[in-house]
Amino acid sequence: MDRRKFLKTLGAGALATTALAAGCDNPNQTQAEGFALGEVPTDKMTYRTGTHGEKVSLLGFGFMRLPTVDPDDRQSDLDQEAINQLTDYAIAHGLNLFDTSPRYCQARSETSLGIALSRHKREDFLISTKLSNQSYDIWTREGSIKMFEESFEKLQVDYIDFYMLHCIGLPARDNEGNEIDPMKAFYGRFIDNGILDFLIEQRAKGRIRNLGFSYHGDVKVFDEALAMHDKVHWDHVLIQHNYINWQHAGALAEKRGTGDANSEYLYGELAKRDIPVFVMEPLLGGQLATLPKFAADELKQREPEQSLASWAFRFAGQQPRILTVLSGMTYMEHLQDNLRTMSPHKPLTDEELAMLRDIAVRYAGISLIPCTNCQYCMPCPYGLDIPTIFAHYNKMVNEGNVITDDLAEDAPAEERRAYRKARRAFLVGYNRAVVPERQADRCIGCGKCLPECPQQIDIPGKMLMIEEKSK
Partner 1 sequence: MLRKIRIVLACLFFAAITLMFLDFTGTLHTYLGWMAKVQFLPAVLALNVGVVVVLVLLTLLVGRVYCSVICPMGVMQDCFGWLGGKVKKNRFHYAKNHWILRVVVLVVFVLLMVFGLGGIAILIAPYSAYGRIATNLFQPVYMWLNNLCAFFAERAGSYAFYSVDVWVKSGLLLLIAVVTFVVIGFLSFRWGRLWCNTICPVGTVLGFLSKFSLLKPRIDQSKCIGCKKCEKNCKSMCIDIDTHKVDYSRCVACMDCIDNCPVKAIRLTTGKAQPAPAPADQKVDSSRRKFVVTTAAVGGAMLLQAQETKVDGGLAVLEDKQLPERQIPLKPFGAVSLKHFANHCTACQLCVSACPQQVLRPSKSLTTLMQPEMQFDRGFCSPDCTRCSEVCPAGAIKKIDTAQKSAISIGHAVTVPQNCLLAQGETCNACSRHCPAAAISIVSDPSTGHSRVAVNESLCIGCGACEHYCPVRPFSAIYVEGREVHTAV
CA angle 335, 340, 346 (to 5 degrees): 135
The secondary structure of residue 441, as a DSSP letter, is: G
77 to each of 73, 109, 196, 328, how far by Cα in Å?
9, 11, 34, 17
List residues near partner 1 by CB under 8 A. 1, 3, 6-7, 10, 17-18, 21-26, 29, 68, 72-76, 106, 375, 378-383, 385, 388, 424-425, 428-429, 431-432, 435, 437-438, 441-442, 444-447
Backbone angles phi, psi at 44, to 5 degrees: -115, 5
d(CA 210, CA 207): 9
Nearer to partner 1, 298 or 441 (CB): 441
The letter for the amino acid at 2 is D
- Per-residue CA distances from 191 to 183, 187, 199, 299, 312 (Å): 11, 5, 11, 46, 36
What distance in Å separates the CA atoms of residue 337 and residue 325, rounded to the nearest whole number?
Answer: 14
CA angle 137, 139, 142 (to 5 degrees): 95
CB 429 within 8 A of CB 192: no
Q: Which of 347, 371, 357, 366 is nearest to 298 (CA)?
A: 357
